Structure formats: C-alpha cells, structure tokens
A and B are shown apart, each in its own frame.
Chain A
Amino acid sequence: MSVSPSGVPSATSRGIDIALGGRTIAAGLSFDVPERETLCVLGRSGVGKSSLLRWLAGLLPGSPARTDVAWMAQQDLLLPWASVLENVVVGYRLRGAPAPLDRARALLADVGLADRVDDLPAALSGGMRQRAALARTICEDRPVVLMDEPFAQLDAITRLDLQDLAARLLVGRTVVLVTHDPMEALRLGHEVRVVAGPPLSIAHRTRPAGCPPRNPGAPALLTEQGALLATLRGAP
C-alpha cells in the first residue's frame, strides 16, 4: 500500500507494466489518482481499462497487493446461496471479523432494499442486485473504491438512479470508475480521463464544472458528451 503525504492511502501508481497472454496492455504507465474524488476512466472496449483497474487492485501478477480497496464489478458478484444481508457483510465473514449487521441493514435500507434483506439474490431484479452489490462495496468501508463498469448491465433509468445513489454514498472516498459511457463519466467524475490503447495511454483529461451527480439534461454536459464521443471515436 502506498501512502500519500497527507496520510491517506493513495491509488496513484508509477511504472505500471501489464502483459496478458503475450499482449502488452501497459508499459511504464504512470497513473495518478486524485484523492477523495471520483476519477472516471473512459475508453472503448478492449483498450485495457479493466486490466488497469485490476492492476490498481493488486489482482494482477506483479501488481502490489492491497488491503485498502473495495471492488465493484459489472456482474453483481453476489453469492447466490447467501441472503442479501449476508452478502453485504461477506468481507467481514471472510476475514473472520465480527459482521456489522446493523450497519449493513441501514445501508440496505439506504439503497432501498430494507424489505429484501433475507431474500436470496435470485429473487431480486438486476437493478436490486446491483444495489445490494453497492451496499456491500460501501459496507467494506475502504478508503479506495474501484468500480469496473458497475452499471453497464442496467436499463437506462435504473442506471441513472444507481449513479445518483453511488455518487451520494461514495462522497469522501477515492474512487476509480471504469466505464465506456461518456454520460456516466460526466455525471459521476470529478475528473474524466479518456484512455486509448493498448498499450494504455491517456488521450484526454477534463474536469467538468459542478459537483457529481450532475444533471444528465444540462446543456453543458450534453455538449461535453459530444466532444468526448468525438475523442473516443478518434482514439480507437
């Protein structure tokens, strides 16, 4: 774990080398992550942004192991045989630590699942499962949260709801959110960084005005979305 001068664990990494299956995904990449903010990493499929996130999480060979990150993926990664409540506290069970069941219940109420705590994931809709996954991610209470296209499989309206919820619950944490959706990046990111590759490079950075979650209908946001789309298409 690297620690910044301010004492907050940092996700900033230098000299990132990723090679998977003989392909170079990243070579000597430096990737700074602003603290206590949400950084959205925007890129087309296949540029290696998920690999970068896995590297930051310490899940790839050669990447430094970390104990200060929470993880949320495109799949809900809920254990199908465990109740929603047990899924939210699964990290504590896995470490053999006392599970904060009251906090987990409060979080589930916060994401709108108060009456579903004892259900199994199979009884929930896709949006509800992703809410439960978000509650689990928050319940871990880690300073750094890494999210890999967490809302990609949801319908447009549910996605907007969950983006609002995530923005509210993730305030004050260092978040890296990987997405291929410019609107999602612009709604949620304090900073939006467009990546191209492989090998990964940073093609463009922008800091949209205002605070997340931003209004999806705001003209400035739509203009910026058009610009980002152009950048993405020009940066295959």
Chain B
Amino acid sequence: MSGAWSRFAAPAIVGLVVLAAWEIAVRTGGVPPYILPGPLLIARTLVADWGTLAPALVATLRIAALALLAAVVVGVALAVLFTQSRWLERSLLPYAIVLQVTPIVSIAPLIIVWANDVTLSLLICAWIVAFFPILSNTMLGLNSVDHNLLGLFQLYGAGRWRTLLHLRLPAALPYFLGGLRISGGLALIGAVVAEFVAGAGGSGSGLAYRILEAGYQLKIPRMFAALVLISAAGIAIHLLLAALSHLLLRRWHDSEAGRAL
C-alpha cells in the first residue's frame, strides 16, 4: 500500500464510516438533538453560528499561541541555565515539577483572582500546563551530547559558550521539537480549561465560554460545534509543529530523514 493512501485515505475512510454510523444511529433511534445531535446538524450549526464561534476560536487560539511562545522562551532559558549550573538545577527544578503536577483546574480560580485580568490569568494557566515538556525535553537534549564530541570540542579550544552554541543547542533541537509538539496540544488544553474556570465566573470570550453558554441555553448542537472547532484547532497545531520539525530536521536527523511531509 502506498504512503499517501495509508496516511490520508485510511483515516478519512474510518472517520466517514464513524460519522455515517453516528448519523444513522441518531436518525433511526430517534435521539433528540438536545441529547446527541447528529453530525449533519452539527455541521449546519457550525456554519449558522460561525459569526459567534469564529471570534471565540480566534480568542482561544491567541491565548494558546501566546502561552506556547512564553513556554518556549521560559522553558529553553531555564533548560540552558539548569544545564550550565547544577546548583541552579537542584534549587529550582523541584518547583518546576510542583507546577507541572498541580492540577490546573484546582489552581486556576486562584490565579484568576490574583492576576485580576482575564487574559493574563488565562495565559498563566495555559503556560503552566505547556512549559514543562519543553523544559524537560530540552534539558534531556542538552545533556545527551556525545561525550566524544564534547572531548573534541575541548581539544579544539571551544569555551563553554561556543560549546553551547555550536554543539549543545543544535544537538538538543530534535528533543526540543518533540517537547514543542507535546506542549502545543497542552497549551490549547490549558487555555480551554482556564476559560472554563473563568467562564463559569461569567467572564470570557473563548470557545470554552461558548460551550458553557450553549450548555446553559441547552443549545447542544452549538456545544458540539465548538468542540469540533477545538479538536480541529488541536489537529492543526499538531500538523503545524510536525511540519516545523520536518523542515528543521529532515536533512540531518534520523527521526525525519527520508520521510515525506
């Protein structure tokens, strides 16, 4: 079987079969739309409510993108600092882990109260969820440099800074990109979860707020339409980051070498 077939046609057919079965089940079973709307109704709602859903999608994506950007900046900076100083790593890494393992739902209300600004608090929540994989993967990459190469760099007179720039950072790139792919999805999840918490308090403009609002008004098809948008956004982020990875690594790293986009 050819690559294009297994990559695009196979998942598309599975999706179509599932959607068709769903539509048939809803119609023949007489399930009311406020329990489970069929895919055709969801699609129609998506088109009809595009005017309210599109700005909400943009708001959520904006938070996710900014949080991911902040996660990249802070994650990479901390990873570089930690690998340059064991003392810093030992003092600060445990607190990064505390941030990572704290359920975001439980601290989001506090952050919203403390930050006193909806956008900022959403950003902080999404950032907390997104930054750890980048930190952890980049650290792993920076520390995984072949010790023979480090020896060579030492013999050829490279100082700490040039070893970082010419060896550790490029060698860590595949690991960083792996972390970035995980964090891309997490930033979206973090943004949506934070919006749920903030939206429950009556403030918000993102997709999660639209879902809550539609739930209150029993507009279940609109809830599903918003969910579809979140899934689509997640897939788009994943594809975008996978393409970035491919672009940066395809010429020299085994993980991408010889693979079509």
Contact = CB atoms under 8 A, between A and B. Distances in A.
A90 B251 contact: no
B217 interface: no
A81 B252 contact: yes
B148 A69 contact: no
Interface string B54-68: 000000000000000
A75 B156 contact: no
A108 to B, nearest CB: 18
B156 A121 contact: no
Interface stretch (B9-17, B38-46, B97-105, B162-170): B162-170
A103 to B, nearest CB: 16
Interface of B: 146, 148-149, 151-158, 162-163, 166-167, 170, 173, 251-253, 257
Contacts of B163: 94
Contacts of B148: 73, 75, 77
Contacts of A59: 151, 154-155
Given A77-B148, A77-B149, A69 B155 contact: yes
A96 B252 contact: no
Nearest to B158: A94
Of all A-B residue pairs in the complex, the 5 with the closest CB atoms, nearest first, are A94-B158, A91-B156, A80-B252, A95-B157, A59-B151
A71 B150 CA distance: 12
Interface string A41-78: 00000000000001001110000001101110101010
17 contacts: A57-B155, A67-B157, A70-B155, A71-B152, A71-B155, A73-B148, A73-B152, A75-B146, A75-B148, A77-B152, A79-B149, A79-B166, A93-B162, A94-B153, A94-B166, A120-B252, A122-B251
B170 A94 contact: no
B166 A90 contact: yes
Given A80-B252, A120-B251, A54 B151 contact: yes
Given A75-B146, A94-B158, A120-B252, 13 more contacts: A59-B151, A70-B155, A71-B151, A77-B148, A80-B253, A81-B252, A91-B156, A91-B157, A94-B153, A95-B156, A95-B157, A96-B162, A122-B251
